[in-house]
Amino acid sequence: MTQSSDDKSAAASPDNLREQVEQTRQELSNTVQALAEKADVKARAQEKAAQLKEQTTAKAAELGGQAKAKASEAAQVLQEKLPEPVKEKAALAAEQVKAKTEQAEQMWQHQAPEPVRNNRTALFAAGAAVLVAYVLLRRKNK
């Protein structure tokens, strides 16, 4: 019996050694992989940049939502505090500007030469600005 138990321990010993070697190889492989990841500065920098981009996008969306809410709230407060005559005059001025813009568009289509029509967006913007300034100055003088 003593010999057979010695044979079993001798047989278990190589299996045990193989198991230990395999476990050591696995641990070494994990360690090497972890060191390689730490040494890969470019990949770490890209990961950090991606994280920062994600955080920045989320923060920008949050701040954009807050800004829209504040602007809406300010417009609401302004609308509530404006006297009715001012609101009516502003609406009337907006209607006049719209009518004059439509009239100018019709005249433009019929009378403006082709090279001038090609720059119509800029010219309409300038015309609308002049018209608004005229209406505001006229209202200020009254």
Which tens digit of pLDDT belongs to each residue from 25-78? 999 999 988 888 778 788 878 888 889 888 888 888 888 888 888 888 888 887
Q: How far apart are CA 35 and CA 74, in angstroms?
A: 55
For residue 93, give its domain range.
83-142
Provide the number of structural domains found in the chain: 1
In this structure, is residue 134 part of a structural domain? yes
Asked whether the predicted pLDDT for residue 1 surpasses 50, the reply is no
In this structure, is residue 26 part of a structural domain? no
Q: How far apart are CA 104 and CA 122, in angstroms?
A: 13
Asked whether the predicted pLDDT for residue 2 surpasses 60, the reply is no
Asked whether the predicted pLDDT for residue 6 surpasses 60, the reply is no
In this structure, is residue 39 part of a structural domain? no
In this structure, is residue 94 part of a structural domain? yes
Q: Is 5 exposed, middle or buried (0-12, 13-18, 19+ CB in 10 A)?
A: exposed
Instruction: Say what the pTM is.
Output: 0.35
Asked whether the predicted pLDDT for residue 21 surpasses 70, the reply is yes
In this structure, is residue 9 part of a structural domain? no
Q: Give the closest residue to 105 by CA, choosing from 123, 92, 91.
A: 123
In this structure, is residue 117 part of a structural domain? yes
3-state secondary structure of 142: coil
